[in-house]
């Protein structure tokens, strides 16, 4: 099996290389592709150096599966022609709401992979980690409405944004002037209630994505409202979530469901430190759930805290899991 990564030098691309190294997929050749700027440089996969190829010169027929991690513009321009020669799994937002493109979280709706036209979309990182606990709870209790506030790491905005957090932090401590290039305001020692562009009704595109992707993946009847916030954390997104069910529920049963939820790990002790922080989730494949408790203002609702590595389950890991599902499906046919 041959694989390719478009955008191999970026945050998601580099993480995808690491996930593929650990995956059980037997890879004969891995092709790494990026912009002209990176062409000719090398990256290591399984102790072997691979020369990065330039996108414009790359032949898409070299790999059976191609993971795109280079943003919407590149996906828009290159994925349709690539899909004539390879199966595309795209990390960007470009194809997600296309009705002919499956939008898949591996543990939640792998059955949606049954029908695809060689393009599969990876959901937004904040959506993916939310879907993991919501799915089994929805199956059992039917979710009516979700209110979510996100605390999103800077690595979700690409490698240059991580550099900006580091340089601003240093400049702040050195009493130097702070420059913002990738964020609209200072991110070091601050937070910004704005991710992606604004849409007409006062929401941002990131908030819009969470609402609409949840409907596409899980159930169109679920109402969801989101406030998405960028915080000065390097990796892992956190979410404060209020879930309202159709009917009353049993908190102990909810906890049991979450303990058994695929891809999830419950860390929930009512004591100092008995919860997960973004730093602890970094590098881990699990989505962590903490602070599970009843909503005192509504006996059909509960609160929880969800944390996951945005570059792993929020991006690279889920795309590799999609590839594993596709290969399993191929074997079964
Ligand atoms: P990034 O760190 O900025 O990396 C961008 C990658 O795209 C680099 O490899 C870059 O190559 C390549 N690229 C840029 N322009 C190119 C061009 N003209 N031709 C070929 N390659 C080009 O971005 P990222 O965070 O990895 O995000 C990649 C995609 O995944 C985005 O669509 C993002 O929304 C999505 N995503 C990200 C996350 C996350 O948590 N970061 C989660 C889910 C989805 P060079 O190094 O050569 O410039």
d(CA 214, CA 74): 25
What pLDDT, on a 0 to 100 scale, did the predictor assign at position 200? 87
Residue 288's nearest CA partner among 270, 309, 269, 257 is 309
CA 68/CA 16 separation, integer angstroms: 10
Say if residues 147 and 223 touch (Cβ distance below 8 Å): no
Judgement on whether residues 221 and 280 belong to the same structural domain of the protein: yes
Is the same domain home to 173 and 291?
Answer: yes
Residue range(s) defining the domain that contains residue 72: 2-123+315-332
Does one domain contain both 133 and 272?
yes
- pLDDT tens by residue, 272-299: 999 999 999 999 999 999 999 999 999 9
Q: Are residues 84 and 136 in the same domain?
A: no
- Assess contact for 133 and 218: CB atoms under 8 A: no
Same domain, 235 and 268: yes
Asked if residue 331 has pLDDT above 80, the reply is no
Task: Give the domain CATH number at 44.
Answer: 3.40.50.720
Could you tell me if 107 and 177 lie in one domain? no
Residues labelled catalytic: 125, 237
Q: 333 pLDDT band (50/70/90 cuts)?
A: low
Ligand 1 pocket mutation pick from 14, 34, 124, 128 by most atoms within 8 angstroms of CB: 34
Does 137 sit in the ligand 1 pocket, CB within 6 Å? no
Q: Are 299 and 245 in contact (CB under 8 A)?
A: no
Per DSSP bridges, beta strands 87-90 and 65-68 are: parallel
pLDDT, tens digit, for every residue of 93-147?
Answer: 999 999 999 999 999 999 999 999 999 999 999 999 999 999 999 999 999 999 9
Burial of 145 per CB tally in 10 Å (0-12, 13-18, 19+): middle
Neighbours of 106 (CB within 10 A): 22
Same domain, 164 and 147: yes
Residues 99, 201 within the same domain: no
Distance 72 CA to ligand 1 centre (A): 9
Tell whether ligand 1 has an atom less than 6 A from the beta carbon of residue 123. Answer: no
Mean residue pLDDT of the chain comes to 97
This prediction's pTM: 0.97
Both 139 and 279 in one domain: the answer is: yes
**Percent of the chain with pLDDT strictly greater than 70:** 100
Q: Is the CB of 38 under 6 A from ligand 1?
A: yes
Query: Is the per-residue pLDDT at 36 higher than 70?
Result: yes
Tell me the C-alpha to C-alpha distance, in Å, between residue 24 and each of 6, 27, 49, 189, 332.
Answer: 21, 9, 20, 41, 17
- Long-range contacts of the stretch 53-59 (C-beta < 8 A, 24+): 55/6, 58/4, 58/6, 58/31, 58/33
Q: How confident is the model at residue 332 (pLDDT cuts 50, 70, 90)?
A: confident
**Cβ of 308 below 6 Å from ligand 1:** no
- Please state the rounded mean pLDDT for residues 20-41: 97
Strand partners, 130: none
- pLDDT for res 171: 98
262 alpha carbon – ligand 1 mean position (Å):
28
CA of 312 to the centre of ligand 1 (A): 14
Pair (104, 14) in one structural domain? yes
Residues 74 and 160 both lie in one domain: no
> Whose alpha carbon is nearest atom 39 of ligand 1?
156
Determine the atom of ligand 1 nearest the C-alpha atom of 39: 47
Mean pLDDT of all residues in 213-232: 98
Number of domains in the chain: 2
Say if strands 143-152 and 237-245 run parallel, antiparallel, or are unpaired.
antiparallel
Look at residue 329 in the predicted model and tell me its pLDDT: 79
With a 6 A CB cut-off, is 15 part of the ligand 1 pocket? no
159 lines ligand 1 (CB under 6 A): yes
For residue 283, the domain's CATH number is 3.30.360.10
Q: Are residues 145 and 72 in the same domain?
A: no
Residue 144: exposed, middle, or buried by beta-carbon count in 10 A (0-12, 13-18, 19+)?
middle
Instruction: Kindly give the distance from the C-alpha atom of residue 74 to the centroid of ligand 1, in angstroms, as a whole number.
Output: 9
């Amino acid at each position: 099996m041959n694989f390719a990564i478009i955008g191999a030098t970026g945050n998601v691309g580099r993480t995808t290389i690491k996930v593929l190294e650990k995956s059980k997929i037997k890879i004969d050749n891995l092709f790494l592709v990026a912009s002209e700027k990176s062409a000719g440089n090398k990256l290591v996969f399984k102790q072997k150096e691979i020369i990065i190829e330039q996108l414009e010169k790359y032949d898409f027929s070299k790999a059976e599966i191609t993971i795109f991690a280079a943003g919407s513009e590149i996906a828009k321009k290159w994925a349709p022609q690539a899909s004539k020669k390879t199966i595309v799994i795209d990390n960007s937002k470009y194809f997600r709401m296309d009705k002919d493109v499956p939008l898949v979280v591996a543990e939640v709706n792998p059955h949606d992979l049954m029908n695809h036209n060689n393009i599969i979309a990876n959901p937004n990182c904040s959506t993916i980690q939310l879907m993991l606990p919501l799915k089994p709870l929805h199956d059992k209790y039917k979710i009516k409405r979700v209110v979510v506030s996100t605390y999103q790491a800077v690595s979700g905005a690409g490698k240059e944004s991580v550099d900006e957090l580091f340089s601003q932090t240093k400049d702040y401590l050195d009493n130097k002037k702070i420059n913002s290039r990738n964020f609209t305001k200072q991110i070091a020692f601050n937070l910004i209630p704005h991710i992606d562009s604004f849409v007409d009704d006062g929401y941002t595109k990131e908030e819009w994505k969470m609402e609409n992707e949840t409907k596409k993946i899980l159930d169109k009847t679920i109402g969801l409202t989101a406030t998405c916030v960028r915080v000065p954390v390097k990796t892992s997104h956190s979410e404060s979530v209020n879930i309202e069910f159709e009917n009353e529920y049993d908190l102990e049963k909810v906890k049991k469901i979450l303990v058994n939820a695929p891809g999830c790990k419950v860390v929930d002790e009512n004591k100092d430190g008995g919860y997960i922080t973004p730093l602890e989730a970094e590098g881990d494949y699990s989505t962590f759930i903490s602070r599970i408790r009843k909503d005192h203002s509504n006996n059909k609702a509960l609160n929880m805290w969800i944390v996951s590595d945005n570059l792993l389950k929020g991006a690279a890991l889920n795309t590799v899991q999609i590839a594993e599902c596709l290969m399993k499906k191929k074997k079964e046919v």
